[in-house]
A = this chain, B = another copy of it.
Amino acid sequence: MKVSREQATKNRAHVVEVAGAQFRKHGFDGIGVADLMQAAGLTHGGFYNNFASKDALAAEAVTQVFAETTERLRQYAQAAADRYAAMVRFYLSPEHRDSVETGCAIAALSQDAARGSPELRAAFEAGIAAYLELIVELAGVTRPRAMAIYATMVGALTLARTVTDPVLSTDILTAATDNLLAAKDS
């Protein structure tokens, strides 16, 4: 049953990748180690050879998710004429709302993270800092303004995912988008 060292490294990375999606989808407490490993095609016993604990995996998965999502957003926005508008529209799109498992870690997990371990919170804090840098860079705004923009995007996506009425949900996304685009530097 043993695999090559190279394959083992790939397996480990795959567990982190799967965990990033599963945690966002189900929440940190909504998915167990055994189910995570099964989703990655492994048995749960092997987990602790690769990770010190479920919490350590969570911190690692969150770091990975931030790296992926900020890079994706950067690529997308940099190709657009109006980078600020592209960023806002991308973040507040119905597609992002309907794709929790591949979307923003903050919008999916930050409330649980705030109750989490120092390690987990540190991973989020680093991700938030990088995200703010990205907004400053893409939108050409001040750091305080980037904070307000980020807050509006996170809050709107969170609200849009909480309500069940599709009209209200879309209205929230549209309202936040319109307000952000109308007042870029306010």
Contact = CB atoms under 8 A, between A and B. Distances in A.
A179 B115 contact: no
Contacts of A182: 186
Interface stretch (A70-78, A79-87, A153-161): A153-161
A30 interface: yes
Given A30-B115, A125-B164, A163-B125, A171 B158 contact: no
A115 B163 contact: no
A186 to B, nearest CB: 4
A40 interface: no
A107 interface: yes
A29 B172 CA distance: 27
B29 A114 contact: no
A175 B155 contact: no
Interface in A78-135: 100, 106-115, 118, 121-122, 124-125, 128-129
